[in-house]
Amino acid sequence: MTLGELVNLLGFETLTGEVNLDKEIKSGYVSDLLSDVIANIEEGSVWITIQRHVNVLGVAKLRDILAIIIPRKLELEQEVIERAKSENIAILRDYRPAFEISGLIYNALKRG
Q: Are 34 and 54 in contact (CB under 8 A)?
A: no
Q: What is the mean pLDDT of residues 17-25?
A: 98
Number of domains in the chain: 1
- Model pTM above 0.85: yes
Give the structural domain span for 39.
Answer: 3-111
Rounded distance between C-alpha atoms, residue 29 and residue 59, angstroms: 13
What b/e sequence results for 76-96 when a residue is b if at least 16 CB atoms lie within 10 Å of its CB, and e otherwise? Answer: beeebbebbbeeebbbbbbeb
Q: What is the mean pLDDT of residues 45-65?
A: 98
Residues above pLDDT 70, as percent of the chain: 100
CATH of the domain at 28: 3.40.1390.20
pLDDT exceeds 80 at position 112: no
Residues above pLDDT 90, as percent of the chain: 99
Packed helices 98-111 and 3-10: angle between N→C axes, nearest 10 degrees: 120
